Structure 1
Amino acid sequence: MLTRRDLSKAIGATGAALLLGPAAAGTVAAPAEMNPLHLVDPELRAAAAAMLAQHFPPMTRASLPAFRASWVAPASLPPPAPAPAVETRTVPGARGDPPVVVQVIGVRAGGAPRPAILHIHGGGMISGRAQNMTAFCQTVAAELDCVVVNVDYRLSPEAPFPGPVEDNYAALVWVARNAAALGVDPVRVAIMGESAGGGLAAMVAIVARDRGEVRLCYQTLIYPMLDDRTGSSRATPPYIGSIGWSPEANRFGWTAFLGVPAGGDRVPTGAVPARVANLAGLPPAFIGVGAIDLFANEDMAYARRLVASGVPTQVQVTPGAFHAFDFVVPEARVSREFTAAWKSAMKAAFAVPV
């Protein structure tokens, strides 16, 4: 029987634990006639098999503290040398909320103003820390020549909606108001996140549009968690979501965040991007997801709605890829192509118009 540490070693431990949250909680292999491994890209198959071999008790509120405590920070690839500087700051929270801790990465003295990215980590709404993604954000800051603000927002169920959204929005407002001091071009501020972080990024983009305080130039949503109905009131094929993030884990994460059962008729207004009626006026978007990720259908549906609403949208669906595949096996061809696609999109968004 593999231990959690063995699994981290088997898949490279390059960030999967953070992104997957309770990745294996409630996850079981599909029936033999629908074996999901047959659909996995060959370069990803060994890691997928190791993940499917794990058996953890179902995620519950009682087991959540032990689960969080058991995490080992993923060993990300080191950022390019010299690594962009990291400064931990505390910024004002929303009215009545506590201050928000952020990592400010890549600030440089002097020179022309540069783009900025507000980065939101994943973890199923219930887990993860900003510092688990420090090296990743340093790499992004170096490769895109930008400032990255990495947010350590409050987690659910201790802080349900709107707490995590307001934390991230408060950080975005702080970036906009302090653009000059940060050396940031206020018209080239983007937002991005992975998994639950992608879902929160979509929510913050909607809040920014509605409140009119900050204008985002782009949103990069990496296999975003957008619809509480997936795996609850909407069933998925058995081979979708069997690797990396399961319907059971999704129900737990969304229920913790919403404060009401996932998939119900009534959820808090603005808490679920897929349920927001009006998507017009949102910033251009990149949405990327693996074809056998639990979020594949909801992500493609959201992309179609953005396009129908007049929002320029690029979609990348990677065949044979499960949730967080690019962090689990970053050296695989499909992972490199996936990463190159969203970085290329962000570079284009940051290009200064002639």
Structure 2
Amino acid sequence: MTTTARPDLDPELRALLADMPLIPHLTPEVLAQLRQFPATPVDSLLTHRRAGHRTVTVPAEDGTPLPLSVFTPANADHSTASAPCVYWMHGGGMIMGDRFSQIDIPLEWLDEFGAVVVSVDYRLAPEATGTTPVEDCYQGLLWIAEHAEDLGIDPGRIIVAGASAGGGLAAGVALLARDLGGPAIAGQILICPMLDHRNTSVSSRQYAGGPGVWTREMNEFAWRALLGGLDGHGDLGDDGGLGDLSGAQVPPYASPARADDLSGLPTTYIDTGSAEVFRDEDTDYASRIWAAGGQAELHVWAGGFHGFDALFPQAPLSATARRTRTDWLARTLRRERAV
């Protein structure tokens, strides 16, 4: 049963959201239209900063070419191989977006820390299903580690990061790296991450019904596109979720909340809004990392809706969220450099 009571939106964010056209629902036809929008104009983000940008191609496990964008500070000293690296996975529900989506977030860390930023064009659902997107992202991590010297980065200071679907993929990459014995990851930044295909939490039910930035129904559509029958259920279950998935075949690398063991993960930063679908699965993920003896920092921004700081970075709450995230990264990079 849908819960109608919801946390209020932050007043400044509410005013900004009122002027934004929202998608009432997602269908294959709507998705096709959304995919026709042009990519983020990355050149405009580079005009005011001294940074180089090049594209490399990395083979996926099945040989499919995966484009990676590499952003490097213009004054980088490749002879020392001491820069941190932020490996970025974009949002878009795993069904849309590209390697330039939300790229302004990690580019702030290029400015702040002299970080090399690498962003991956993983394959999207429904054309790519199951673990294909997260495995694509893992191949990008392998390439970064193998080319650390050429990139001028410290292999001990690689951070995986992503927003929304990208946050879920970053979490899946961290699980893969742990279970496959590397590469080493110094930290993971999970921004309003999409972690749980079951879609049955209180916050998921609170944000059912549209239109919205990302509703429960949109989330169901995206997960169905990704799972491609892995759940063993072609129709929605009686509870509105994707069937009875307690014993399903959905791998934890695709849906990280399904992982039984969250020990041995890199230090983690998770943030989310109080007024969004992913709030409860995100807070639960942080709690389970603590329960497993790991380190996580969790921020639930009161009145924040899904992706608020990416959509409206000028809002006061957004500026606070982004600065807090950057402060955490500064502390993490200092600790790793001191080791």
Name the TM-score class by shorter chain: 0.7 to 0.9
Percent identical residues: 36
CA contact (8 A) 1:241 1:295 kept: no
CA deviation string 1:182-239 (max 9, x = no partner): 1111111110000000000000100000000301010000000001112599951258
Tell me the residue number matched to 2:328: 345
**What are the superposed Cα offsets for residues 55-74 of structure 1, whole Å, 9 maximum, x if unpaired?**
54x32234422221145637
2:174 match: 205
Please give the alpha-carbon distance, in whole angstroms, between the structure 1 residues aligned to 2:211 and 2:281. Answer: 16
Kindly indicate whether the alpha-carbon contact (under 8 Å) linking 2:78 and 2:151 is maintained by their aligned counterparts in 1: no
Q: Does 1:66 align with 2:33?
A: yes
State the shift of 1:78 in Å.
3.8
Contact 1:87 1:103 in 2 (8 A): yes
Runs of 4+ with >4 A deviation: 74-77, 231-235, 238-242
Separation in 1 of the partners of 2:210 and 2:167?
17
What's the counterpart of residue 298 of structure 2?
315
Whole-Å separation in 2 of the counterparts to 1:285 and 1:72: 29
Corresponding residue for residue 236 of structure 2: none
Letter in 2 for 1:273: P
Q: Cα distance, 1:327 vs. partner?
A: 1.7
Structure 2 residue 67 is the aligned partner of structure 1 residue 85: no
Distance 1:243 1:101 in 2: 31
Give the secondary-structure state (helix, strand or coil) at the position aligned to 2:15: helix
CA separation in 2, counterparts of 1:101 and 1:155?
13
For residue 70 of structure 2, give the secondary structure of its aligned residue in structure 1: strand
> Is the CA contact (8 Å cut-off) linking 1:116 and 1:149 kept in structure 2?
yes
Equivalent of 1:182, from 147, 151, 158?
151
Please point out which of 282, 287, 290 is paired with 1:299.
282
Residues 62 and 244 from structure 1, CA distance in 2 versus in 1: closer, same or farther, beyond 3 angstroms? Answer: closer
Corresponding residue of 1:46: 15
**Aligned equivalents of 1:152, 1:210: Cα separation in 2:** 23
- State the aligned residue count: 318
Equivalent-residue separation in structure 1 for 2:274 and 2:127 (angstroms): 32
Question: Residues 118 and 183 of structure 1: is their aligned pair in 2 closer, same or farther, counting only changes over 3 Å?
Answer: same
1:46 CA displacement? 1.3
With over 3 angstroms needed to count, the CA separation of the structure-2 counterparts of 1:329 and 1:62, relative to structure 1, is closer
Q: How does 1:91-170 map to 2 (within 5 A)?
A: 91-94=58-61, 96-106=62-72, 108-112=76-80, 113-170=82-139
Indicate whether 1:244 and 2:230 are aligned. Answer: no
Residue identity opposite 2:272 in structure 1: V
Amino acid at match of 1:106: T
Distance in 2 (CA, whole Å) between partners of 1:229 and 1:155 is: 20
TM-aligned CA distance change 1:294 to 1:240, over 3 Å: farther
TM-score (norm 1): 0.82
8 Å contact kept, 2:87–2:159: yes
Note if 1:268 corresponds to 2:268: no
2: CA distance between counterparts of 1:75 and 1:185?
26
The TM-score normalised by the length of structure 2 is 0.86
Following superposition of structure 1 onto structure 2, how do residues 223-234 of structure 1 map, counting pairs within 5 Å? Answer: 223-230=192-199
Name the CA distance, whole Å, in 2 between partners of 1:50 and 1:285.
34
SS in 2 for 1:46: helix
Q: Partner of 2:262 in structure 1?
A: 279
Kindly provide the amino acid, as one letter, of the partner of residue 217 in structure 2. E
- Closer, same or farther: CA 181–91 of 1 in aligned 2, 3 Å: same
Task: Give the residue type in structure 2 aligned to 1:110.
Answer: H
1:321 match: secondary structure: coil
Gaps of 5+ in 2: 234-240
Q: Which residue of 1 aligns with 2:142?
A: 173
Distance 1:71 1:246 in 2: 23
Q: C-alpha displacement at 1:303, in angstroms?
A: 0.5
CA distance in 2, matches of 1:146, 1:75: 17
Once residues 195 and 312 of structure 2 are traced to their aligned partners in structure 1, the CA distance between those partners, rounded to angstroms, is 24
Structure 1 pair 136–162 and aligned structure 2 pair: CA distance change class (3 A): same
Number of the residue aligned with 1:24 = none
